[in-house]
Amino acid sequence: MSDLSPRQSEILALARTAGKVGVEDLARRFEVTPQTVRKDLNELCERRVLQRVHGGAVVASGVANLSYDARRFAAAEAKRAIGSAAAALVPNGSSLFINIGTTTEEVAKALAFRDDLLVITNNLNVATELYRHAGIEVIVTGGPVRKADGAVVGAAATNLIRQFKVDYAVIGVSAIDADGTLLDFDYREVLVTQAIIENARHVILVSDQTKFTRKAPVRIGHMSQIDSFVTDLVPSEDIRQMCLEAQVDLVEADPGGVLSRGEPD
């Protein structure tokens, strides 16, 4: 957006990298008043590129998904930390599903030099990342390829997944509702993810905290169907309590390298 001010352009770039920006942090960074930052954020929100949240703003989503390339930049450091923490849950000698998503791709990158893995995926980016490694066998589902992100979707993909019963599934979602509902944008992709959940012994959900501020229209399932949830931060005590009650192993992966398993205070 060439008509943005240099400061607004940098704020937008920071938001796309971190997923969220805060008023006080931006005021210190640019040596301006919080009121000036709020004005910048309001203008960016009016352009529908950011969405205001308490204390700052996040990359806007509404009910339309961001482009796949843009999602790669959003919360990039958090996604790398989540990817490493999730990969640590998968031992050598395992079979696993990996679905479409920029965070699931980070898990694949962290698994790249592991031994004796069987990976079934509908994500061409994951297949490209892993197929060349000697210790990993990759099976790609059949069906139409979605040009926007390299996802293989449709009945053929779902039917192939149902031929397997694997040790682990690594899934990403587009949004997490306050009541724990897992959501996505494309019903065809949702059918694939539902089949993945049904045919894995241990389901690992990977998602950064910005997914709690997003909306999507199609229901995948519920947090209670998950075995492990790997994120950078759970901003809701209700979700934290929900994980505890459903016996979901909650792992918070700090981009600084610190892991914690969360329980309510």
Average pLDDT over residues 69-78: 66
Asked which of 69-73, 218-222, 233-237 is least confident by mean pLDDT, the reply is: 69-73
Identify the CATH number of the domain defined by range 69-261.
3.40.50.1360
**69 has a pLDDT exceeding 60:** no
Q: Is 19 helix (H, G, I), strand (E, B) or coil?
A: coil
**Sequence ranges of the chain with CATH classification 1.10.10.10:** 6-60
Statement: 6-60 belongs to CATH 1.10.10.10: yes
**145 has a pLDDT exceeding 60:** yes
Average pLDDT over residues 35-40: 94
**Sequence ranges of the chain with CATH classification 3.40.50.1360:** 69-261
Q: What's CA 127's distance to the chain center, in Å?
A: 18
**73 has a pLDDT exceeding 80:** no
Backbone dihedral angles phi then psi of residue 98, each to the nearest 5 degrees: -135, 125
| CA separation, residue 71 to residues 37, 81, 130, 168, 229 (Å) | 24, 16, 21, 25, 20
Percent of the chain with pLDDT over 90: 66
180-204 confidence digits (pLDDT tens): 999 998 888 999 999 999 999 999 9
Contact 195, 160 (CB under 8 A): no
CA dihedral 183, 167, 255, 233 (to 10 degrees): 40
Q: When comparing pLDDT for 148 and 175, which is higher?
A: 175
**264 has a pLDDT exceeding 70:** no
